[in-house]
Structure 1
Amino acid sequence: MSDLKKEAVSMHKAASGLRGVGHHTANPLQQFEAQSRDLDALGALGSLLGAKGEIEKGMTTLVKLTKALDEEWEAEAKLIGEVSTAFDLLDVLIAAAAQAGKG
């Protein structure tokens, strides 16, 4: 197996892994986001009432950041997949050129 082929296989695996991140984080993220709106237990504690809003804001920010990371990882996975495909094609072209040179 050529070095380009090895790199292409490795990059394809990495891209597949990055694409799968969103599938693993979707449900926990949804649960976390729902909990950020359900902080009633904190409201029962008078001294923490002021902190409830800050906690909600912090949790909302974490949800937004996680969603942004997921989008970034998806974009990176797409790019890595395209580079992997280009390496596959280049490997085929190099092999064809070598074969033509022998013929």
Structure 2
Amino acid sequence: MSDLKKDAEALHKAASALAKVDDHTRKPLHDFKAASHDLSAFGVLGSLMSAKDDIQDGMDTIAGLTKNLHKEWEVEAKFLGDVSDAFDVLDILLNTAARAKKG
């Protein structure tokens, strides 16, 4: 029964960490998106090869995918928290049943 408690604690810790990912990536993602609109380092060569637009589109796509990952991680963090809570309740119920059985 203590395994359930350990599993619940581990799931809760994972859920908390996963929920905080957005806090750690918000500024880097903003900086990345801003950089996708300032590709002056490519100069004339980039403009001649249409690389600037392709790179900008690629960076915008990556930023969008990252936002979608944040949403998915948020849902997964909530799920892990719910499973952790369920394990806590199950552990309590099993302990209560074991005590009742012992009489």
TM normalised by structure 1 equals 0.92
List runs of 5+ in structure 2 lacking aligned partners: none
1:78-93 alignment runs, 5 A limit:
78-93=78-93
- Report whether the alignment pairs 1:31 with 2:31: yes
Equivalent in the alignment of 1:20: 20
Residue correspondences, number:
101
Q: Deviations over 1:42-70 (max 9, x none)?
A: 3xx22210111001001001101111111
Displacement after TM superposition at 1:35 (Å): 1.1
Aligned equivalents of 1:39 and 1:47: distance in 2?
A: 11
Q: What is the CA RMSD across the aligned residues, in angstroms?
A: 1.2
Moved over 3 A (4+): none
* 2:40 is equivalent to residue 47 of structure 1: no
Query: Using the alignment, how far apart are the partners of 1:30 and 1:79 within structure 2?
Result: 27
C-alpha distance in 2 between matches for 1:41 and 1:81:
45
Aligned match of 1:6: 6
Q: Which amino acid aligns with 1:55?
A: I
Structure 1, unpaired ranges of 5+? none
CA distance in 2, matches of 1:89, 1:34: 46
Partner Cα distance (1:31, 1:77) in 2: 25
Partners of 2:82 and 2:62 in 1: CA distance: 30
